[in-house]
Structure 1
């Protein structure tokens, strides 16, 4: 909750408190003094409060006003617990609730008001202990804070996925400002846009000898402001090297920036103006986990020496932790090298047995928006899923199947650029070559419900529990509605050919992993912490469970995909690679390679480039890596 909203809440509470205090004590008694003093303190009517004490009016007014400044308090609230009377003396026990503002904790403590009869009127016997039992003459409040350094996003081996980058922490030491605090914050506010009153309050509430950070800047922003900041000689610039520049996969890891005046109000949470925050990727999704929260202490100081006397309360803050991902840095480097030769491509590698995302490499595309969450035509890559439904419908992979250049099915026209010639091409041959016309001709061999069931078994259309945006795929509504049997032969033919099906590179990598391992597994990107903090834009849901692949289907598809890999010149010599090169969208010149080698399953999407060549480079790099 922001400081402004807290202030409004306090005003409403004050109205309620005033009525309750007034209603309880109507007769002339110590109650009147207690009521007026606490209501005056709470509502900042310090004349009312001071008038109910036996102290010097000006001194009491100043003490109450200073307490609010020294604590940087958004509000005070009080609750009377009991009042006891003993002759011409009385005592009121009460509970104080102090909102320390800037998303700091609520400080709750018990105290008491001593009262005496002075000239026939009850008065609060004034001393600093009225403000807090441990506050004595010659002492004042202060709030000491310590921000926790940002934790890293790590790969699966606990290696940070960030590079060192300088941050410039701008602050002051209050005792060195003299009477120039107002002037300094006015200038700093003018240059940076941070609220002047907040900067000043932070200085006034901090221990005078303590460095008080007021703003953080990245290197670019600091260079823009450096000449202006140099005009404020009281500023101290602390240049800190922090691991916040994202390493590959950069879009997945995300960027980190200093908090600006605009984002300060939007984010909420434990941030203070100038702190770092995640702009994108996992840095944003796990912002509060990575930053933790600020350690806060309420202390008393000796007014003459500014030395700490006592600690009244401490909040250690929530512990911040690294975010452990499933990324394998060696495989990530291989993926980056494989896509480097292209203009537009995406490669996603997963562990075939767990669904863990090992690498996400892109060129000309975004790793999150396109590789994980992109919506691309599946093309003949979807024939892997369609084959599951066809084989379960008793389709023999050795059945002869012509591959004409053109074919019409249910009124829909299909044209293939991968015409399979020869005396007797089979379903397996046409699968390996991606013959659209041959595949489309099988529409009458399977119904839409079976295609939809196979798609679901391979995760297409499933809800995934990933901390970043992702897309599992989609089929036409006629396949997933209440009456899938109404889907036409043309709709089924287009689905088998992948023309009305959308998928992401991630979803197709998981399809490859399912054939390779014998079970489809949902994707996993982060292993620790188990779920993002509450600030993340992610829907909480139960992760889908693994789904076993029919052994007969797996055996057939393994053989077909091995033949598909061997038919590609780009993969020639890469023994042990199972996969299929498939069309995506001819008009957009998109192509797919879906397959696996060993424990690593991949999907490659390219534009104007052979996807099998990218896959071959990736697997070659893996074999060459240490």
Structure 2
């Protein structure tokens, strides 16, 4: 709860008592006992402790301090009281009241029943003072405390339930409240606040509300920040510095898993409420997307502590209001390792999916690219890799795979020029051969025979433009309207079609399995929105492809590896199917490979003038998988 929220709650509580308490005035012929109860509880509730103390038979300073200490020891945002009944026997009165204490820090409300004994002192009703006025179980020599035990951050797991985090050392600044004398706690918190930026009052309240004899963590630092502040921290009397290992360093794919840091003043504000030292916050990737699911669950107890014996008595305990649990992903360490190795020394990205399910097995990128921003959500021209999606339109136009189709170096369609590097000389390839080599001039020439609407419909069957339900950013592809032959030719050449490596990996998986399936990255929790536990997972329905189209594509894509430009993708084991495609973006040459082996479909996009660079990376990936089996 924010500070502003606390203030509103406290104010509304004060008004509630002011309205409720006078309603009891009819309970007694003499209103003074009622007035004593009213004035005491309203004074306690509103923080006018002197006014409350004057309505007791105790020493005014002692009672005022006890009331103030109760709020500090509970780190309470507010108190609210409701008088339930009053009973009189001779010169004694007992009032029953309900107390509601807002413990703040996003903790639950503490509700308990209390009693106020009153007696006449020199003709005036006074509350008979003792610690039990604050709570029936509080005795002399005891104090309140709040013990909060947060559950550790839950891990993100791969498909085999192995954690995708590694150990990292965090540094914790703590204190033992009992070792701080007089105003030492206040001075310590002032210095710590100046160094770290955490609010002084929140640090101090954490000390005051803690069990006095236990070490209380105040601030947690990562390695770099601690190195910068270590000398200043060591100079603060009473500070205890210690190391704590937590599994927060992301394993590969690091940008998909996401980084985790200790809570800072900035992230504390972003999270909308005070966090405790040792809490962690996800800064990117799945760690950020599932922050609320992975953290935040705490065991809270209100206790009393005997200051001599240190004996603890539990007054109230709350189980976590929501459970935390690991996030189960579809990522696979073996596939990720093979993908990372395949890209070494190059500049590009690779996404591998399970063809039969759409499960994302690996996401890899070189330093120039981001795994989420580019591999999952990037917008790149498809180049002639789009020809995979055009085959259905070709078949409907009754274009035979064996039809001869010239592949000149240059061709113009609808006034749009197309150029093919390394065009064959002296031969006229078949459609299948042009597909296998990605001849842009040959494919563009089909624009006059393939209906643009048929082409757009075929692309949709391969998921282009589909509404994904991923917890991270993703791009399923887009195609501009095909209003004329020129636009259709550009689509066949992949020049006005944008895709991501993930969307093209799913295209390959659709040909391999015969059905396009939406991508899956997280299997538990099954929610389409990580910020809620209730919204059911919603994803597009799988799309069954035409059998004839699939059979033709499998033949075409096998020839891409055996006789086309994707030869470098060949690897031991099951036959490799795939094609290459050249494209460019911002004058940077790009080389695609889209294909599969067995049940593993991949899309590789390399920044390279070599059109076979993507196929070579795919070959290293498949070979790495085979070697690891």
The TM tier, using the shorter chain, reads: over 0.9
Q: Quote the Cα distance in structure 2 between the aligned partners of 1:607 and 1:591.
A: 6
Q: Is the 8 A contact 1:464 1:522 kept in 2?
A: yes
Q: Who is 2:576 aligned against?
A: 577
Q: Who is 2:3 aligned against?
A: 3
Q: Quote the Cα distance in structure 2 between the aligned partners of 1:494 and 1:165.
A: 50
Q: Quote the Cα distance in structure 2 between the aligned partners of 1:25 and 1:399.
A: 101
Cα 1:201–1:213 shift into 2, 3 Å: same
SS in 2 for 1:321: coil
What is the Cα deviation at residue 564 of structure 1?
Answer: 1.1
TM-score by length of 2: 0.92
1:158 aligns with 2:161: yes
Q: Quote the Cα distance in structure 1 between the aligned partners of 2:150 and 2:3.
A: 19
Instruction: Indicate the larger mover: 290-299 or 533-542.
Output: 533-542
Q: Quote the Cα distance in structure 1 between the aligned partners of 2:433 and 2:219.
A: 65
What is the Cα deviation at residue 315 of structure 1?
Answer: 3.5
Instruction: Indicate the larger mover: 276-285 or 439-448.
Output: 439-448
Q: Who is 1:430 aligned against?
A: 434
Q: Is the 8 A contact 1:269 1:288 kept in 2?
A: no
Q: Who is 2:200 aligned against?
A: 196
Deviations 1:42-74 (A, max 9, x none): 110112222223333222211110100100111
Within 5 A, what are the aligned runs for 1:269-418? Answer: 271-316=275-320, 318-342=322-346, 344-363=347-366, 364-417=368-421
Q: Quote the Cα distance in structure 1 between the aligned partners of 2:85 and 2:456.
A: 70
Q: Quote the Cα distance in structure 2 between the aligned partners of 1:152 and 1:468.
A: 17
Q: Is the 8 A contact 2:378 2:499 kept in 1?
A: yes
Choose from 237, 241, 247 the match for 2:245: 241
Deviations 1:8-44 (A, max 9, x none): 3322442344344457648835432332222211110
Q: Is the 8 A contact 1:592 1:605 kept in 2?
A: yes
Cα 1:99–1:473 shift into 2, 3 Å: same
Q: Who is 2:449 aligned against?
A: 445
1:132 aligns with 2:100: no
TM-score by length of 1: 0.93
SS in 2 for 1:168: strand
Cα 1:422–1:572 shift into 2, 3 Å: farther
Q: Is the 8 A contact 1:76 1:97 kept in 2?
A: yes
Choose from 500, 504, 507 the match for 1:508: 504
What is the Cα deviation at residue 447 of structure 1?
Answer: 3.0
Cα 1:87–1:584 shift into 2, 3 Å: farther
Instruction: Indicate the larger mover: 30-39 or 236-245.
Output: 30-39
Q: Is the 8 A contact 2:569 2:617 kept in 1?
A: no
Q: Is the 8 A contact 1:95 1:110 kept in 2?
A: yes
Q: Is the 8 A contact 2:595 2:602 kept in 1?
A: yes
Within 5 A, what are the aligned runs for 1:32-51? Answer: 32-51=35-54
Deviations 1:129-180 (A, max 9, x none): 2212221222210011222222222211122222221111110111122232
Q: Quote the Cα distance in structure 2 between the aligned partners of 1:573 and 1:79.
A: 77
Q: Is the 8 A contact 2:185 2:204 kept in 1?
A: yes
SS in 2 for 1:53: coil
SS in 1 for 2:302: strand
Count of aligned residue pairs for this structure pair: 617
Choose from 107, 110, 114 the match for 1:107: 110
1:524 aligns with 2:511: no
What is the Cα deviation at residue 264 of structure 1?
Answer: 0.7
1:252 aligns with 2:256: yes
Cα 1:205–1:270 shift into 2, 3 Å: closer
Instruction: Indicate the larger mover: 225-234 or 215-224.
Output: 225-234
Q: Who is 1:484 aligned against?
A: none
SS in 1 for 2:479: coil
Q: Who is 1:592 aligned against?
A: 592
1:488 aligns with 2:484: yes
Instruction: Indicate the larger mover: 237-246 or 83-92.
Output: 83-92
SS in 1 for 2:248: strand
Q: Is the 8 A contact 1:418 1:434 kept in 2?
A: no
Q: Quote the Cα distance in structure 2 between the aligned partners of 1:518 and 1:588.
A: 34
SS in 2 for 1:524: coil
Cα 1:411–1:145 shift into 2, 3 Å: same
Cα 1:378–1:119 shift into 2, 3 Å: same
1:611 aligns with 2:614: yes
Q: Is the 8 A contact 2:289 2:530 kept in 1?
A: no
Instruction: Indicate the larger mover: 44-53 or 313-322.
Output: 313-322
Q: Is the 8 A contact 2:407 2:428 kept in 1?
A: no
Q: Quote the Cα distance in structure 2 between the aligned partners of 1:491 and 1:539.
A: 40
What is the Cα deviation at residue 467 of structure 1?
Answer: 1.1
Q: Who is 1:547 aligned against?
A: 543
Instruction: Indicate the larger mover: 285-294 or 386-395.
Output: 386-395
Q: Who is 2:556 aligned against?
A: 560
SS in 2 for 1:589: strand
Cα 1:120–1:345 shift into 2, 3 Å: same
Cα 1:29–1:563 shift into 2, 3 Å: same
CA RMSD after TM alignment: 2.4
What is the Cα deviation at residue 592 of structure 1?
Answer: 0.6
Q: Quote the Cα distance in structure 2 between the aligned partners of 1:372 and 1:422.
A: 42
Cα 1:395–1:270 shift into 2, 3 Å: farther
Q: Who is 1:620 aligned against?
A: 623
